[in-house]
Amino acid sequence: MKRIGMLTSGGDCQALNAAMRGVVKVLTCSGEDIEMYGFLDGYRGLIYSDFRMLTGADFTGILTKGGTILGTSRTPFKTIKEPDENGLDKVEAMKQNYYKLRLDCLVILGGNGTHKTANLLRDVGLKVITLPKTIDNDLYGTDMTFGFQSAVNIATDCIDCIHTTASSHGRVFIVEVMGHKVGYLTLNAGIASGADIILIPEIPYDINKVVEAIEARDKRGSRFTILAVAEGAISKQDAALSKKEYKEKMKNYKYPSISYEIAEKIQKKTGKEVRVTVPGHTQRGGSPCPYDRVFASRLGAEAGRSILEGEYGFMVGYKNREIVKVPLADVAGKLKMVQPDSAMVKEAKLLGISFGD
Residues with catalytic annotation? Answer: 136
Dihedral angle over CA of 312, 315, 317, 322, nearest 10: -20
Degrees, nearest 5: CA angle 297-102-3: 30
Name 209's Cβ contacts closer than 8 Å, sequence gap at least 6: 354, 356, 357
Question: How far apart are alpha carbons 266 and 284 in whole angstroms?
Answer: 29
The values of phi and psi at residue 4, to 5°, are -120, 130
Question: Which helix H or strand E contains 305, and what residues bound it?
Answer: helix 290-309
CB under 8 Å to 347, separation ≥6 — which residues? none
Contact at 8 Å (CB) between 36 and 70?
Answer: no
Distances (CA, A) of 307 to 5, 114, 293: 11, 20, 21
Can you tell me whether residue 106 is helix, strand or coil?
strand
Q: Identify the sign of the CA torsion 218, 224, 228, 232.
A: positive
Distance, CA of 251 to CA of 341 (rounded, Å):
33
Contact call for residues 63 and 21 (beta carbons, < 8 A): yes
Alpha-carbon distance 32 to 2, whole Å?
8
Residue 241 CA from chain centroid, whole number: 26
Answer yes or no: are the C-beta atoms of 215 and 270 closer than 8 Å: yes
